[in-house]
Each structure stands twice: as C-alpha cells, then as structure tokens.
A and B are shown apart, each in its own frame.
Chain A
Amino acid sequence: MTQYLDRVAKTFQDEDQRKSLFNDVKNLLISIGRIAILVGVSYVILSPIIGIIVNSFSSNKDAVNPMVYVLPHEPTLEKYKLVIERMDYLPTMLKDLAYSASLMVLQILVCSMVGYGFARFNFPLKSLLFGFVVVMIVIPGHSIMLPLYMTFKEFDPLGLATAITGAPINLMGTPIPMYIMTVFGCGVRSGLYIYIFNQFFRGLPKEIEEAAFVDGAGVWYTYFRIMLVNAMPSVITVAVFSLVWQFNDTFYANLFLIPENIVISKKISSLQMVIANVDKILEANIQELYLDAGIVLVILPIVIIYCLLQRHFIEGVERSGIVG
C-alpha cells in the first residue's frame, strides 16, 4: 500500500508524468463522452424502428397489457399474414421496385449527362443556366403541382395528341408522367443529382478526356465509356438516393394519381382504413400493430439494399462531388 502511494506521489512530482497522466484522463473522458453521445443519438434514431418491429410481432393481448415493455409476451406472425394478404405484398413490391429502379436508371443517365454538359463544356449563358438548376432545387414541388396536374391531365404535346386521336390524352392514374418528367431531367430531386454529378465531373482531371480524344474517341463514346465509369462513386450515391427517394415518394405519386399497385407507400396510407373496413378491426391500438407490420414489410427491401450498398455509398459520398 505504501509502495503504491509512493509511486503515485512520485508520478505527481515528475512533471512529464503528471502531464501524460492528465492527458490520459482527459482522453478517456472525451472518448467516454463521445461514446455516450453516439449511443444516445443512435438510440433516438433506432428506438422508433425497434418499437415498430416489436409492435409488429405483438399479439392483441400484448397491445393492452401494461406489463409489456419492448418484448412481447406472446409473439405472433398473424399480423404479417393479414397485412401481406391485404397489401397484395409480393406483386406490389416487385412492381414498385421495378418502377423505382427503372426511374433510377433514367435519373442516372439524364442527370449525369446534364451534369457532364455543365462541367466540361463552355457555352454562352452557362452560369445563368446552372443558376436555373439551383432554382429547380429551391422551388418546392408544391408550388408547381397544380399546373403539372393540369398538364398531364390533358397531355397534348405540340397538339400531337389532338391531331391523332382528336382529344388530349389523360395520363392521370398512370406512371407515364413520372417517366416523362424524369427523362427531361425534372424527376424527384433531379436538380440535386445534376448538382452532385456536376461537382464530381469538375473534380476529375481533364487529362483523362484529352487522352481519349487523342486516341480518337468521340464525345459520346468518351462520356459513356470513360467518364461515366470514372464517376462510379457519385453514380452509386445518386443511385441510392434516387432509388430510395423514388420509392418513398408520395408527393408525385399522389399528384399523378399513380395507382396503388405500383406504389407501395401509398398502400401504407390506406392500410389502416382497409384493416378497419374489411377486417372489422376497430380498435386503434390494434390497427396500429397491423400498420407497423406493413411498415416493416415496406422498408425491408430498402433497408436491405441500403445495408448492401452502404459501405460504397458512404465512401462514395465522401469522395464524390457533394462537396466541390
């Protein structure tokens, strides 16, 4: 004991050792603080998700039992069974994934093209036009929703539809408006993707293209076979963003009245009503459990894709052009 105390006393007498001890304690405290904050915030993020998963497995009894906290007493899959049936889960999910993925491919092609055009070519009014891209990000979707609705309700490009069929085509209730908007670079958050690609292409060395030109590659060949391949980090970033946001989008889906059997997130909004009306489950608490099961089912594929891509995604974000 006295030996130990002696050693402590010695440590305190020696200035260097005192400093290093002080530093050790400081670092320890800082890392404890950091862990505490990270765990705390992670809990805030994860707790509702844990709650939803738990609820989706709870039985009706658990829902009214005040003793139940986090772990249900009688776990059951009955909620999932009913919800899968009512949502027509598998076909709808496949259709929705196909819809979102096809739009994702379009977004990547169109936005990278436009981003490349802004990054590598000089033409008059370039900065003004790029300003318009920023404006596009800034303008909230709702301020143009009515005219968009009108445009696609009576879709008549250059009077062609009237010339052929005698009347404008009503595109409401189909996903076609979404495809048209995306092809013309105005899909869900296209402005942001153009911005990301533009920043990334500007950061790539010009020598790559010059080498391609010297070797006799045309502009389009260079873009598709060389630049797009080099832009993989930002392609992955945009792919994840656009797939997820397209999948989650309800604004355009509601605006264009895209049917529920293509957009599964719309089914979530109506699930509670269906459960109440078709299955005569009228207690709000119990309905909530079914809704939670539905949400777990809907976010499942997205979370899987995210987990598979997340390493690339985060690295891509760090290296890609979100920051100029």
Chain B
Amino acid sequence: MAKKKAKLSLLQKRMRTGYLFILPWFIGFVLFYVRSLIMTGQFAFSELTMNAGEGGYSLTFTGLDNFIYAFRAHATFKQVLTTSIGNMLVDVPLIIFFSLFMSLLLNKKFPGRFIVRAIFFLPIILNADAITAALELSAAMMNGGISTMATEVVENATATSSGMSMDYFIDLFMSLGIPTSLLDYVMAAVARINDIISASGVQIIIFIAALQSITPSMYEVAKIEGATGYETFWKVTFPMVMPHIVTNVVYTIIDNFARSEVVELAYDTAFTQFNYGLSSVFSLVSTIITCIILVVVVGFIQKKTFYYN
C-alpha cells in the first residue's frame, strides 16, 4: 500500500513537471490564439470603430450585416474566394505528385546528389514575399531577354520560351480527342510549374525522410520474391509513404491558403481600408472553408491509408 502511494506521487510529480514544460506554450496559446479567435468572431458580427483620441475601440453589434455585405455587395470577395479555392484544388494534387516523384529521384544515390538537393531546397529559404515577386519577374525575363519584360510575356512565358507554338500542340491533342478539361488541367499545371516547384520544398523533405525510414529488409523480401521495380513501388514504397501523404496534404493546403489572394484581400481590407469587421468576415469565412476542405480531404485519404504499426 505504501509502495503504491509512493509511486503515485512520483507519477503526479512527473505530471506536474510535464505541465511545467508545456506551460509557456499553453499561456501563449490561450492569450494569443484562443482570445484572438474569439475576438475575430466578435468583430465579424459588429462594426468596429477606432477611437482616434484616447485609443481603444468600440464595437456596435450589427448581426449578420458584414456577412451579407461580403457575399451580396462586395465587388471582388466571392470571385477571389472561388479562384483561391480553385487554385488550391489544382495545385495541391500537383504539388503532392511532383514532390513524391522528386523525392523518389533524389533518394537514389548518384554523383552530385548533395548539390542537387541543395538546389531543390533553395526555394524554402527564398520564400519571402518581396523576393518571390522579384523572382517571378526575373523568371519571365529569363525567357525573353532583359528588354522584353512586358507583362504579356509573363503570361505567355511558357508558350514562347521553347520557340515552338503551343497552339499547334493544343490543336493536335484536341483533334486526338483528349478531353478539353484534362487538357486545361495540364496546361494550367505547365503554366504554374514555377509556383509548384517553389512550393514543394518542404514536401520533398518530408517524403525523403519518409523514404529513408522504410526498412531495407522490405525491399529485400520484395526482390527475393521476384517483384519488379513497378510492383515494388506500388506494394512497398507507396503504402509505406502513405501516412506522410496525409501530412503533406495538410501542409500543402495550409501553405497554399496562407499565400492565397483571400489572405491578401483580408489584409488590405483591414489595413488600407480600415474595415476591420469586413476583414474579419473574410478571414473567418476563408478559414472555415479551408478547415472544411482539410477535414474532408484528410478524412478521405486517411480511409485509404495503410498504417504499418
């Protein structure tokens, strides 16, 4: 009995130390996240006026006015929201496939591997807003010399750079009977290759780490049983990487959302037009939609995911 009591108190002591370790984060989370989310919710349902003289602000409850304005009257919100979500739905699968493919290539041993990896992870360290904008411009200019930096070039960059007529190929594929929607998707993918590559650095890292963590004995077994490389990929590599596809999808959706136009719109509305209530509505609506997409997509993938342990 006495022994049990002593053990219990040790457990409790460990418990208390555990709380001590996470305490700073917990305080921050409550102070900055929980409180802020509640306030954002409040702002969305009210009209906020800054008191210029003595500082502070006052809220007047307006009910759903802000929401109604955002969806019925605001000029660009609905359009920006739908394009942001559309882009997300196009980009996420592309980024996942691309990064999986690239990590498979990079995981092999070949001369110069370190240099290639260093290049591939460069986009992670160069993803500041100002730098990204300049890089995009520069990418367009590389395709047409310094003097031809008109904006049209940016849009047609992929078409003109190779010196062949893209229209010809599009016509060709159209007449071959390939569905237009598929063709559009591929075209969109090609046009955004820059964005996709620069957005998939972290995902490649995660996939490489996942590939490294697969035990070699599995491949040995597959080889002894006479599996081809194709079969090995689908029966061993892919299922083992599957849990990390979930991680990557989550990361990609969040990352994509954080860079989307809705976020910019919300920021502008708050800090250049000083319409805090409306900005909160934009933030809230887009966050909720993203969360719904996250839950649906992750739930769907998780159903198909194979967990080794």
Nearest-Cβ distance from residue A65 to partner chain B, whole angstroms: 7
A153 interfacial by beta-carbon distance below 8 Å? yes
Nearest-Cβ distance from residue A254 to partner chain B, whole angstroms: 8
Please give, as numbers and ranges, the residues of chain B lying within 8 Å of A254 by CB-CB distance: 271
Q: Contact between B149 and A285 (Cβ–Cβ < 8 Å)?
A: yes
Q: How many residues of B contact A (CB 8 A)?
A: 93
Chain B positions 286-303 with a Cβ under 8 Å from a chain A Cβ:
286-287, 290-291, 294
B33 interfacial by beta-carbon distance below 8 Å? yes
Q: Fill in one digit per residue for A200-222: 1 if any B CB lies within 8 Å of its CB, else 0.
A: 00000000000000000001000
Q: Contact between B138 and A51 (Cβ–Cβ < 8 Å)?
A: yes
Please give, as numbers and ranges, the residues of chain A lying within 8 Å of B205 by CB-CB distance: 314, 317, 322
Q: Fill in one digit per residue for B181-212: 1 if any A CB lies within 8 Å of its CB, else 0.
A: 00000000000011001100000011011101
**Total A-B pairs in contact (CB under 8 Å)?**
272
Q: How distant is the Cα of A109 from the Cα of B198 in the complex, in angstroms?
A: 30
Q: How distant is the Cα of A299 from the Cα of B130 in the complex, in angstroms?
A: 11
Q: Contact between B21 and A117 (Cβ–Cβ < 8 Å)?
A: yes
Please give, as numbers and ranges, the residues of chain B lying within 8 Å of A120 by CB-CB distance: 18
B263 interfacial by beta-carbon distance below 8 Å? yes
Majority SS at the chain B contact face? helix
Q: How distant is the Cα of A313 from the Cα of B209 in the complex, in angstroms?
A: 12
Q: Contact between A143 and B43 (Cβ–Cβ < 8 Å)?
A: no
A250 interfacial by beta-carbon distance below 8 Å? yes
- Whether A318 contacts B208 in the complex (CB less than 8 A), given A113-B21, A121-B18, A292-B134, comes out as yes
A310 interfacial by beta-carbon distance below 8 Å? yes
Q: How distant is the Cα of A185 from the Cα of B32 in the complex, in angstroms?
A: 10
Of the candidate stretches B22-30, B69-77, B163-171, the one touching chain A is B22-30
Q: Contact between A265 and B15 (Cβ–Cβ < 8 Å)?
A: no
Q: How distant is the Cα of A65 from the Cα of B149 in the complex, in angstroms?
A: 12
Please give, as numbers and ranges, the residues of chain B lying within 8 Å of A313 by CB-CB distance: 121
Q: Contact between B57 and A314 (Cβ–Cβ < 8 Å)?
A: no
Q: Contact between A143 and B37 (Cβ–Cβ < 8 Å)?
A: yes
Of the candidate stretches A3-11, A35-43, A79-87, the one touching chain B is A35-43
B254 interfacial by beta-carbon distance below 8 Å? yes
A-side interface residues toward B, CB under 8 Å? 31, 34, 37-38, 41-42, 44-52, 55, 58, 62-66, 68-70, 110, 113-114, 116-118, 120-124, 126, 129, 132-133, 135-148, 150-151, 153-154, 168, 170, 181, 183-186, 190, 194, 219, 223, 240-241, 244, 247-250, 254, 265, 268-269, 285, 288, 291-292, 295, 298-299, 302-303, 306-307, 310-311, 313-314, 317-320, 322-323
Which 5 A/B pairs are nearest by Cβ-Cβ distance? Answer: A121-B18, A184-B28, A117-B21, A185-B25, A248-B128
B-side interface residues toward A, CB under 8 Å? 11, 14-15, 17-22, 24-29, 31-33, 35-37, 39-40, 43, 55-57, 102, 105-106, 108, 110, 114, 116-131, 134-139, 141-142, 145-149, 193-194, 197-198, 205-206, 208-210, 212-213, 244, 250, 254, 257-258, 263, 266-267, 270-271, 276, 279-280, 283-284, 286-287, 290-291, 294
